[in-house]
Amino acid sequence: MSCDQTESLLKKIIRKIGQECAAQGQTLSETLVAFMVKAVVLDPRSYFNVDRILTKKDVQNLIQLCVTRLLDTTNPSLSTIKMQVYFDMNYANRAELLSEQHRVLEGKLAPVVRDITDSRPRVQAEMESVYQKIVSYVLLSSGLGSPTDIEVVREVTAALQSVFPQTEMITFILLSKKDKEQQLKNLAMLVTGIRLYNKECGKGGSSIDDLPSILNEAIPSATQTVDEGLNTCHRLAHQYTALLESMQEDQHRYTQLSSFKLKEALFNVRQYEAFLCILLSDAITSAQEVEKMNVEFAATMEQLKNTVQNKVSIDTKEVFPLFVALSNLWSSFQDEILLLSFLTNMTNNLQQFSEIQSQLFPEEVLTSLLEGVTVKSDEERIRETMGTRVNVSDFKNQEWLFPETTDDFDQLLIQYHGFCAHAIGVKGLTLPGNPAIGILKHKERYYVFSSKEAAYSFAQDPDKFIQLNAEKAKEHAELIQLLELCHQFEYLAPYAQARNADKCLMKPTTKCDSSTQTDTHILPPTIVTSYEWNEWELRRKAIKLANLRRKLTHAMQTDLSHMRRENSTQVYLPKDVSTQTKRDNSSNVPRPQVFLEGLRGGSSPTTHMVKVDLTRAVDET
């Protein structure tokens, strides 16, 4: 079956599953359905043979299994997968979220900017209309007040007129489109800074919210909410782990308790904990940024007050940068408000995926099950193993890393999200790994362990336990993302071959990150801008230069241009040139004097001419 046919079949299966779930009252996203299809195919208990074309019966079985799992509301694994899909589709880091927000804001302001920059007013009424549009743009871009509030519009207009009176509209109209857009941004920042300063002085700004105070109250509240959720996760994870360890020691003690369900609940709690840690880290970063911005805002405002000091006239070079700085800081406060709102919504929406814990294992049930069971926290487990470490001499072909012998020890990328690499595949537990025991480096990847015994057992045959962990992830598909195993589940291998060879259904692909760079210009550039390779272009320039030498340069100014810029021209000035030749000389020669007689004829029929030469000799002259 070709790739196009496989993709078409997969889309039909996903669409069919979505329709059947919708008929049962469950509306699910295609992403969630596609993930569930992958989970069912990966699960060895499904016995899907992927090395041949699926028959209609195989397709029906796949659809039925997916629908059954998707409609099982008592399944912790489904809640975990839903949580992972939701987080992947909705979460964005600070840079991505702010970039998207700024892009959306620019898109909303684009029609207003286009209307201003493309306008060509000719009469006074049209000038005033464009000016009002500039006021609207400044107000909308700052986000300080509503455009329908007359008091706010008057305040913005007054602030704008102080830095951009209507008499400068003629100059503004003559600017290019790009220069107009840049001036609009500058005006928006200046007006925002002026309004913030007036609010500080008690001369306006009633519609401007006190964002620093709001953030100082909201961030601790949001952080506390995340902390409470994390404490609940930690408590449940510790209790579930203690129960599972007790069940493995005495399998007949909890006959009515399903270890499979308990493990799925443990994975659900661990995934919820991981996501809350990400949100808590973002909240802490926001708190640090707000604290730093509060100091900068107060210092800038104080500097602005000292600069103004009730002066009648102030140099714009002194105050304008301060107004712009206030505007930028306030924009950062607005960004933090957006980030805090996003983190709060993410925290509240993630909580619904952990509600299954209270349904499956109520607190009173857990209390009764934990009687006589010692519950250890992650910190206690790590403290118990702080005094033990791997003896490097016991391993000849393995590389172990320790804090005192490794640079940037805390920055190493630990596999399996920092959980013990041995306990996952052997016990099906997510026990915290202790790096102090020693970090095993195997095939450029790093592994930690919960005890010295686990480290020794894993180091004897790392590939075997890595295989066991992959098989465990196929049984519990939510572990693929929780343990960050996506690199091992990229391509499907034939299932028959996998069963016979005792290999994973998903064949890992060996990859290597590499990069190369070639310098464009090794030596400093020596580009001659006047160089021309075309001889006809050189001829054209030569003719032009020769022609210019016989030209005169004229300059003129008009009423619209005489105050805009200085013009200068250069001409070849005339100069006096003289030359000297040889001396003048002359000579005289005899003047010829020749006379002819008898040309008129006479009485005789024959003419007799007489020639008389009276020219003097040369030596006589």
Share of the chain above pLDDT 70, in %: 88
Asked whether the predicted pLDDT for residue 567 surpasses 70, the reply is no
CA angle (266 as vertex; 260, 268 as ends), nearest 5 = 105
The larger pLDDT score, comparing residue 552 to residue 154, is at: 154
Q: Which has the closest alpha carbon to 114: 22, 178, 66?
A: 178
Q: Which has the closest alpha carbon to 429: 359, 376, 383, 505?
A: 376
Q: Which residues contact 72 (CB under 8 A, 6 or more apart)?
A: 78
Interatomic CA distance for residues 70 and 40, integer angstroms: 11
pLDDT of residue 261: 86
247-265 exposure pattern, b = at least 16 Cβ within 10 A, e = fewer? beeeeeeeeeeeeeebbbb
The larger pLDDT score, comparing residue 469 to residue 252, is at: 469
pLDDT of residue 67: 86
At residue 495 the predicted structure's pLDDT band, cuts being 50, 70 and 90, is very low
Helix axes 177-200, 316-351, angle to 10 degrees: 80
Interatomic CA distance for residues 427 and 249, integer angstroms: 11
Q: Which residues contact 333 (CB under 8 A, 6 or more apart)?
A: 211, 212, 215, 290, 293, 297
pLDDT of residue 490: 57
At residue 583 the predicted structure's pLDDT band, cuts being 50, 70 and 90, is confident
**324: number of CA atoms within 13 Å, CB side?**
12
Q: Which residues contact 270 (CB under 8 A, 6 or more apart)?
A: 233, 237, 430, 482
Q: Which has the closest alpha carbon to 344: 286, 385, 407, 305?
A: 286
Average pLDDT over residues 560-570: 65
Asked whether the predicted pLDDT for residue 52 surpasses 70, the reply is no
Tens-digit pLDDT profile for residues 77-121: 889 998 998 998 899 889 999 999 999 999 999 999 999 988 888
Q: Tokens in use for 540?
A: 């054209």
Q: Which has the closest alpha carbon to 39: 361, 267, 356, 269?
A: 267
Tens-digit pLDDT profile for residues 298-319: 999 999 888 887 676 777 888 8
The DSSP secondary-structure symbol of 46 reads G
- The distance of Cα 234 from the centroid of its chain, to the nearest Å, equals 33
277-289 exposure pattern, b = at least 16 Cβ within 10 A, e = fewer? eebbebbeebbeb
At residue 36 the predicted structure's pLDDT band, cuts being 50, 70 and 90, is confident
pLDDT of residue 504: 35
Is 476 buried (19+), middle (13-18) or exposed (0-12) by CB count in 10 A? buried
Interatomic CA distance for residues 40 and 477, integer angstroms: 8
Average pLDDT over residues 35-56: 73
DSSP 501-539: TT--SEEP-----------S-SSPP---TT----HHHHH
Q: Which has the closest alpha carbon to 503: 512, 514, 492?
A: 492
Per-residue H/E/C for 476-507: CCCHHHHCCCHHHCCEECCHHHHHHCCCCCEE
The pairing of strands 594-597 and 491-492 is unpaired
Average pLDDT over residues 126-141: 91
Task: Check if the beta carbon of residue 204 is closer than 8 Å to that of residue 151.
Answer: no
pLDDT of residue 2: 58
